[in-house]
């Protein structure tokens, strides 16, 4: 069996991690898989016999056009299965057969989708009349709809599966769930040693916020406001913000006069991010929409308790291993964080539940074996 894994996201993103983790696993277990990256991202390294193939020679705004109109026809023939590893590339299923598309999010419809329409994916203007983010999402929505041409669709949660069935209107038998995974690098480690390696204070309580882009959906403003209220009760507490922070977020931090209590990190390697989870006392992830929520799984695997949104897929993913909150209620977010940082028995209980969930539901072997079985189903249908 020879597999083509098609991606357009970097290794620093959840979707990029998904594609590369599957690429590495397959090649390490004797199944040749080539990673076809539409953009020349850093960090993708060849594993076994699997090639890294780059389609666009450089990163450009025009790649959105090329990836939708031209590049679906430039994928090499000869693969047994074409696995399009995210829904933004659904158009590739129309021209590359047999194909599977993985849906991480829907955004077209469903609870929380109203927050995604304002996503500033690229806020600069392409022209004076055409905003780039609308242009990007116009192609994205049509590409998602083209996923109906795939032989199979993989969803990383039941929440996403329900929305995909409603949006695409295809038969249920073609839409399967294979939960997303966590890398083996995310595991419990000694907190003090992790902080020493990262040069973080050894005695402070640390709250973690993870999200590569500070968009309205990530709800970072409410994270900052909840942290500010938390500081009124627990003075010796820090917030680590992993990812880019918007001008609005930085302005709010300045207005609240908590600049010295926030540590900004970005462009972390997986190894560095794993240590940050180990060094933290709680993950704060009250997003407004998530098809899966990879940071929740990474935190649970690392032994870091979780405060998560009760929206979208997160109740299904976190279950009883996290404290679920209304992401629009800042007091509720702050109260949940206070409970975790103040109640040692609660912390221990959440950590144990999280580690158990990761082992039973989100292991690399379980996810990859489920994905392999879908490859075999697809080939048997031909």
Check whether residue 125 and residue 68 sit in a common domain: yes
Rounded Cα distance between 326 and 125, Å, is 34
Calculate Rg over the CA atoms of the chain: 21
**Cβ contacts of residue 351 below 8 Å, gap of 6+?**
303, 304, 305
E strand or H helix at 165, and its extent? Answer: helix 158-168
The reported pTM is: 0.82
Check whether residue 377 and residue 273 sit in a common domain: no
Q: Is 267 exposed, middle or buried (0-12, 13-18, 19+ CB in 10 A)?
A: exposed
93: containing domain: 2-181+363-381
Instruction: For residue 125, give the DSSP letter.
Output: B
Check whether residue 139 and residue 231 sit in a common domain: no
Residue ranges in the chain whose pLDDT is less than 70: 107-136, 181-182
How many domains, the chain?
2
Q: What's the per-residue H, E or C state across 270-286?
A: HHHHHHHHHHCCEEEEC
Check whether residue 329 and residue 377 sit in a common domain: no
Q: Taking the CA of residue 197 as centre, how many other CA atoms within 13 Å lie in the half-sphere pointing to its CB?
A: 15
Check whether residue 86 and residue 163 sit in a common domain: yes
Check whether residue 252 and residue 302 sit in a common domain: yes
Check whether residue 89 and residue 55 sit in a common domain: yes
Residue 284 has a pLDDT of 98
Check whether residue 356 and residue 235 sit in a common domain: yes
Q: What is the pLDDT of residues 288-346, one digit of tens each?
A: 888 888 899 999 999 999 999 998 889 999 999 999 999 999 999 999 999 999 999 99
Check whether residue 257 and residue 334 sit in a common domain: yes
**Residue in 265, 345, 239, 350 with CA at minimum distance from that of residue 303:** 350
**Bridge partners of 176?**
154
| 186 lies in some domain | no
| 377 lies in some domain | yes
Check whether residue 139 and residue 128 sit in a common domain: yes
Check whether residue 326 and residue 250 sit in a common domain: yes
Check whether residue 140 and residue 280 sit in a common domain: no
| 49 lies in some domain | yes
Q: What is the CATH number of the domain that holds 352?
A: 3.40.50.2000
| 204 lies in some domain | yes
């Amino acid at each position: 069996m020879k597999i083509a894994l098609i991606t357009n996201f970097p290794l620093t993103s959840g979707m990029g991690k998904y594609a590369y983790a599957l690429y590495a696993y397959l090649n390490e277990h004797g199944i040749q898989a080539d990673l076809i990256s539409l953009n020349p991202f850093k960090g993708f390294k060849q594993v076994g016999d699997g090639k890294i193939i780059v389609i666009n020679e450089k990163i450009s705004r025009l790649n959105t056009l090329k990836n939708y109109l031209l590049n679906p026809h430039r994928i090499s023939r000869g693969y047994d299965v074409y696995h399009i590893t995210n829904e933004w590339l659904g158009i590739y299923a129309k021209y590359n057969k047999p194909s599977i598309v993985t849906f991480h999010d829907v955004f077209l419809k469903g609870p929380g989708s109203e927050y995604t329409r304002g996503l500033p994916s690229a806020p600069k203007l392409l022209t004076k009349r055409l905003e780039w983010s609308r242009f990007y999402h116009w192609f994205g929505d049509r590409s998602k709809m083209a996923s109906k041409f795939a032989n199979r669709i993989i969803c990383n949660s039941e929440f996403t599966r329900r929305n995909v069935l409603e949006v695409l209107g295809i038969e249920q038998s073609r839409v399967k769930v294979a939960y997303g995974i966590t890398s083996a690098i995310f595991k419990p480690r000694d907190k003090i040693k992790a902080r020493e390696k990262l040069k973080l204070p050894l005695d402070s309580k640390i709250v973690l916020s993870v999200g590569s882009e500070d968009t309205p959906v990530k709800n970072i403003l409410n994270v900052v406001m909840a942290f500010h209220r938390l500081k009124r009760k627990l003075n010796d507490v820090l917030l680590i913000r992993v990812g880019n922070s918007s001008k609005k977020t930085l302005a709010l931090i300045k207005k609240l006069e908590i600049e010295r209590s926030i540590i900004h990190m970005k462009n972390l390697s997986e190894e560095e991010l794993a240590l940050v989870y180990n060094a933290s006392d709680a993950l704060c992830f009250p997003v407004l929409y998530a098809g899966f929520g990879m940071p929740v799984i990474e935190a649970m695997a690392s032994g870091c308790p979780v405060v998560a949104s009760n929206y979208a897929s997160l109740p299904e993913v976190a279950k009883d291993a996290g404290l679920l909150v209304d992401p629009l209620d800042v007091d509720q977010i702050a109260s949940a964080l206070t409970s975790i940082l103040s109640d040692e028995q609660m912390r221990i209980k959440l950590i144990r539940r999280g580690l158990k969930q990761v082992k039973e539901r989100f292991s690399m072997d379980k996810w990859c074996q489920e994905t392999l079985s879908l490859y075999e189903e697809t080939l048997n249908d031909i």
